């Protein structure tokens, strides 16, 4: 009986509606295809200009290249200097129109600083490698290609579009409230937000990103009484800093497991003494086997899917920290700012369905929602609390953040076509 009911319900569902692309949308598709070589050349120029997050001049140079693409399309482009946060700045471009405001999000920086050996764009057929070729210079080119197609089709004229390309997505400036105030304001003013990080892939299938987890750093410091190791565990010396550290970290692992939650430990040191540098990257320690450790330090990150989960897990971590072993102490400090989660809201899911309507109309594969536990944090998290947001609209590729980062250049065509039609429909109202 249950099987029969399930079959009846299946047939009762409305069939997927397929509509022919409008004349303007057909023009967009042809324009993207005709300009493919142009956009590959743009991608090559962007990639060959180093823009590691700390290369401030390089980031501004990439911003100038993008400015030269957007201003001829009628965008008012400005550079927002972020010297007060220790970063280069952001490019903000606006195109007023009668339509609903669509926010397009990407970033100019990469993880590859000037001292990296991985510096140049290389092409082998439909495959290209290079620093930031997918994350996120390929996404920036998708934005440019989509907007050019919209201009050729006449839909850009009435569309209301804001582009925010940050210059420090890979290593956000501090304080983050200052570093992201322009992006947050743009999100609050938008009807929809589209983020152009890498397209999610799994075994050749393409997915939509309706959720991303947060990313927040934490530092745990434990202390203990030091002395001769023969006295460890007694009432005078207690357990020492390293045992206290081990208790807490294992408590996180044992007591707080749940879906979409991780707390990685990236660096740890313990001894008498132990210390970590101001960047939280290099830890040092010294000690002997017959000395009870006085100090231990660990740094890691916390990733959660919702604001509620984040608040609850932080409290749970603190409860574990506070249950000290005898004669020890511990302090848990969360880093300022970080990336908030992009929670999987009903609005985000509905936005993916709008993209899938575009996919059906253009004869492109539909996309399921990607597992958020398999995606990193992104700038979309700063706007998702205020506006329906869809991510992962950049190019298809792999090996991001590593030598050999690559993209499928053919995906630049279909992603730009999808984006051009989706932006036009969202802004001008066609469902």
On whether the CB atoms of residues 307 and 382 are closer than 8 A, the answer is no
* Residue owning tokens 């203990």: 224
Asked whether this chain's domains 17-212+341-428 and 216-334 adopt the same fold, the reply is no
Strand ranges, E, within 281-322: 283-285, 295-303
Burial class, 365, CB count within 10 angstroms (exposed 0-12 / middle 13-18 / buried 19+): exposed
* CA atoms of 182 and 82, how far apart (whole Å): 11
17-212+341-428 belongs to which CATH class? alpha beta
Per-residue model confidence (pLDDT) at position 8: 29
Q: Does pTM top 0.85 for this prediction?
A: yes
Rg (CA), the chain: 25
In 277-339, which ranges are E strands?
283-285, 295-303, 328-334
Closest residue by Cα to residue 313 from 371, 380, 250, 263: 263
User: Residue 278's pLDDT is what?
Assistant: 86
CB-based contact 215:377 (threshold 8 Å): yes
How is residue 325 annotated by DSSP? P
Answer positive or negative: Cα dihedral of 24, 27, 33, 34. negative
Helix (H) or strand (E) holding 201: strand 200-202
Q: In the chain, what are the domain boundaries?
A: 17-212+341-428, 216-334
Give the pLDDT of the chain (431 residues) as one tens digit per residue: 333 333 323 333 344 456 789 999 999 999 999 999 999 999 999 999 999 999 999 999 999 999 999 999 999 999 999 999 999 999 999 999 999 999 999 999 999 999 999 999 999 999 999 999 999 999 999 999 999 999 999 999 999 999 999 999 999 999 999 999 999 999 999 999 999 999 999 998 999 999 999 999 999 999 999 999 999 999 999 999 999 999 999 999 999 999 999 989 999 999 999 999 988 889 999 999 999 999 999 999 999 999 999 999 999 999 999 999 999 999 999 998 789 999 999 999 999 999 999 999 999 999 999 999 999 899 999 999 999 999 999 999 999 999 999 999 999 999 999 999 999 999 998 65
120: number of Cβ within 10 Å: 12
Do residues 366 and 170 make contact, with C-beta atoms less than 8 angstroms apart? no
Taking the domain 216-334, which CATH number applies? 3.30.70.360
């Amino acid at each position: 009986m249950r099987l029969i009911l399930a079959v009846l319900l299946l047939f009762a569902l409305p069939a997927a509606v397929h509509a022919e692309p409008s004349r303007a949308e057909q023009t967009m598709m042809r324009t993207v295809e005709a300009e493919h070589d142009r956009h590959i050349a743009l991608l090559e120029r962007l990639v060959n200009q180093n823009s590691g997050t700390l290369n401030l001049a390089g980031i501004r140079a990439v911003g100038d290249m993008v400015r030269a693409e957007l201003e001829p399309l009628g965008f008012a482009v400005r550079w927002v200097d972020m010297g007060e946060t220790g970063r280069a700045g952001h490019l903000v471009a606006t195109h007023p129109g009668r339509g609903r405001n669509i926010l397009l999000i990407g970033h100019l920086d990469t993880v590859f600083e000037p001292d990296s050996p991985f510096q140049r764009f290389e092409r082998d057929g439909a495959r290209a490698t290079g620093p930031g070729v997918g994350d996120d210079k390929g996404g920036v080119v998708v934005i440019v290609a989509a907007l050019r197609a919209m201009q050729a089709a006449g839909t850009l004229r009435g569309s209301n579009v804001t582009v925010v390309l940050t210059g420090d997505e890979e290593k956000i400036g501090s304080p983050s409230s200052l570093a992201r105030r322009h992006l947050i304001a743009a999100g609050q003013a938008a009807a929809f937000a589209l983020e152009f990080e890498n397209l999610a892939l799994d075994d050749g299938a393409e997915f939509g990103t309706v959720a991303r987890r947060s990313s927040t750093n934490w530092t745990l410091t434990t202390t203990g009484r030091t002395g001769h190791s023969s006295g460890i565990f007694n009432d005078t010396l207690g357990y020492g800093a390293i045992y206290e550290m081990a208790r807490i970290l294992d408590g996180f692992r044992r007591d707080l497991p749940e879906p979409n939650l991780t707390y990685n430990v990236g660096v740890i040191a313990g001894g008498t003494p132990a210390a970590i540098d101001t960047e939280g990257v290099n830890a040092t320690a010294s000690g002997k086997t017959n000395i009870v450790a006085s100090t231990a330090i660990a740094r890691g990150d916390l990733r959660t899917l919702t604001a509620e989960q984040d608040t609850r897990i932080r409290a749970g971590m603190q409860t574990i920290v506070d249950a000290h072993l005898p004669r020890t102490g511990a302090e848990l400090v969360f880093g300022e700012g970080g990336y908030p989660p992009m929670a999987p809201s009903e609005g985000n899911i509905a936005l993916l369905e709008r993209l899938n309507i575009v996919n059906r109309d253009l004869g492109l594969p539909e996309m399921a929602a990607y597992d958020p536990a398999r995606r990193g944090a992104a700038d979309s998290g700063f706007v998702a609390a205020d506006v329906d947001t869809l991510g992962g609209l950049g190019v298809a590729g792999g090996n991001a953040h590593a030598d050999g980062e690559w993209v499928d250049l053919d995906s630049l065509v279909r992603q730009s076509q999808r984006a051009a039609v989706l932006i036009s429909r969202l802004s001008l109202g066609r469902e």
